[in-house]
Amino acid sequence: MAKHTHWRDSKAWLDAGLPLSSTSNEACKLYDAALTQYVGWYDEPSVGGLEVTLGKLEKTDESFIMGRVISNGLELLGTGTNIDLSSDLKIGIDEMVRIATVSDISQREQQHVTAIKLFSEGYQKKACETWERILVEHPTDMLALKFAHDSYFYLGESNQIRDSIARVMPYWQNTMPLSSYLHGMYAFGLEETNLYAQAEQEARLGLELNPNDSWATHSMAHVLEMNGRSIEGIQFMSSTESNWNICGMIACHNYWHWALYCIENADYQKALEIYDHQVQQRTLDSSAPLDMVDAASLLYRLEMEGVSVGKERWQKIFDVTKPHLDDHTLVFNDIHYLMAALGANQNDIVNRFKESTTDFIKKKKGDQRNIMNEVGVVMFEAFQAYDDGDFSKAVETMLPVKYQVINIGGSHAQRDVFNQFLIQAALKSDQKQHHKISKMFVNRAEIIKRVHTTYRSTYSPSDGSSCGLTTSYDHIWG
């Protein structure tokens, strides 16, 4: 990746129709540097990386409101903490609001402050609505676009992941900074709404414009996954590895996709190799929630395939997730933390985790609280029943919320672990009716395969499940 050395100053932002309320040219440039690294999922060495950039930004102009917005927003969207857990974050957001109150800032900047405040209080959907209002008047505001894009992902809002980008694309010109990244973002939305051919076209265009666009790589990986093109997926990830593995913020997740292809080809040894050398190591190094959930998901999928991953691997991931068991920033995260606790046989921790979840529902407000109450606690009960060997209870508990699982967020590919979980539980149940249920789920995949010639075709079920299974169940049904 070529070193980026030219950043937009105050006049450049004004000329772009996105004036910044700062008297410091250096602050405006650092804001551009932070935004560029966020969108590109990488650390720019010429400015010391994203974390260093944000630190310099605050010191350069402490009253620069958009510097406060991007810093607080990234802390929140990282999902590693919240204002109840971090006094520094709460103070930072309160100070942002105070500065906005006493400063002469634009309506657009004030709306950004409002959105971050709403998000911090648990109202992610309202924050998205605020960012969308910004985009109506300022469709080239990349920060509003990217914050909304990531938040829709957390909420499982597939249509909005796609449409939020589609609505603004006509206003972007190819000469505008960061414009090439829109193709990878749009590709992801298209893929999540089952428009695979269009998604592939957009992802490839994004990569033609910028081979280092790791989100476009990620979108392409999803297309190949959902189309059942695992051999092609392995070839794609391996041949482009040097382009995307330098984007440290998402490299672990792209390796996760590579490992999925290996699992689908029953190459469990290669999947474990990728896990050990990339996914696990990057998770231990970063302690980032996105990496933690990928690690837990891979181990759980391998175990369901009959692969014994060993207690040491589970223990290492549990040790990383343990400090976050009371965070409850995302239900999606919590379910994966539960996997890690179960995998490491931490039964006492699991019980305390469930108590913490109950407390979270009683005392908090907001979108994640509601999702946990409606879907999360049911999934917790199902996973614990499965771990206890009560597979019948796991099926009966999970089945009623099967089509609500999408509400916990994540992608179709990520949530497929829950479809596989339900099938496995049904197969292991002592009730013959459950065996029939599992066969019906696989029958659906077989019908799709027959009609569209591939397991993952141009159609995808509305529950976000993939259309193929790596394990043969013929010995169960005869």
Q: Which string of DSSP letters, residue by residue, matches 309-331?
A: --HHHHHHHHHHHGGGTTT-S-H
Q: What is the CATH number of the domain that holds 194?
A: 1.25.40
> Does residue 329 lie within any of the structural domains?
no
In angstroms, rounded to a whole number, what is the distance separating the alpha carbons of residues 322 and 333? 12
Structural domains counted in the chain: 4
Is the Cβ–Cβ distance between 204 and 239 less than 8 Å? no
Q: Are residues 362 and 434 in the same domain?
A: yes
Q: Are residues 458 and 362 in the same domain?
A: yes
- Report CA 95 to chain centroid distance, whole Å: 28
Four-residue CA torsion sign, 234, 314, 424, 226: negative
Q: Are residues 157 and 195 in the same domain?
A: no
Boundary (domain end) residue, out of 163, 178, 193: 178
> Does residue 174 lie within any of the structural domains?
yes
pLDDT more than 70, % of the chain: 92
Residue 324's pLDDT band (cuts 50, 70, 90) = very high
Q: How much is the pLDDT for 2?
A: 57
Residue 463 has pLDDT above 50, yes or no: no
135-171: pLDDT as tens digits: 999 999 999 999 999 999 999 999 999 999 999 999 9
Q: How much is the pLDDT for 460?
A: 42
Q: How much is the pLDDT for 445?
A: 60
Is the Cβ–Cβ distance between 409 and 156 less than 8 Å? yes
Q: Are residues 124 and 71 in the same domain?
A: yes
Q: How much is the pLDDT for 441?
A: 81
Q: Are residues 294 and 147 in the same domain?
A: no
End-to-end CA distance of the chain: 54
Residue 95 has pLDDT above 80, yes or no: yes
Q: Are residues 125 and 161 in the same domain?
A: yes
- Answer left, alpha or beta for residue 17, where phi above 0 means left and psi between -120 and 50 means alpha: left
> Does residue 419 lie within any of the structural domains?
yes
Max Cα separation, the chain? Answer: 75
Residue 1's pLDDT band (cuts 50, 70, 90) = low
Q: Are residues 240 and 288 in the same domain?
A: no
> Does residue 396 lie within any of the structural domains?
yes
Boundary (domain end) residue, out of 227, 247, 267: 247
Residue 383 has pLDDT above 90, yes or no: yes
Is the Cβ–Cβ distance between 321 and 296 less than 8 Å? yes
Boundary (domain end) residue, out of 138, 161, 178: 178
Residue 320: domain span: 248-324
pLDDT (mean) for 460-476: 40
> Does residue 344 lie within any of the structural domains?
no
pLDDT (mean) for 368-376: 97
- Answer left, alpha or beta for residue 447, where phi above 0 means left and psi between -120 and 50 means alpha: alpha
> Does residue 340 lie within any of the structural domains?
no
Q: Are residues 375 and 429 in the same domain?
A: yes
294-317: pLDDT as tens digits: 999 999 999 999 999 999 999 999
Q: How much is the pLDDT for 329?
A: 97
Q: Are residues 320 and 405 in the same domain?
A: no
> Does residue 339 lie within any of the structural domains?
no
pLDDT (mean) for 448-468: 43
Q: Are residues 447 and 386 in the same domain?
A: yes
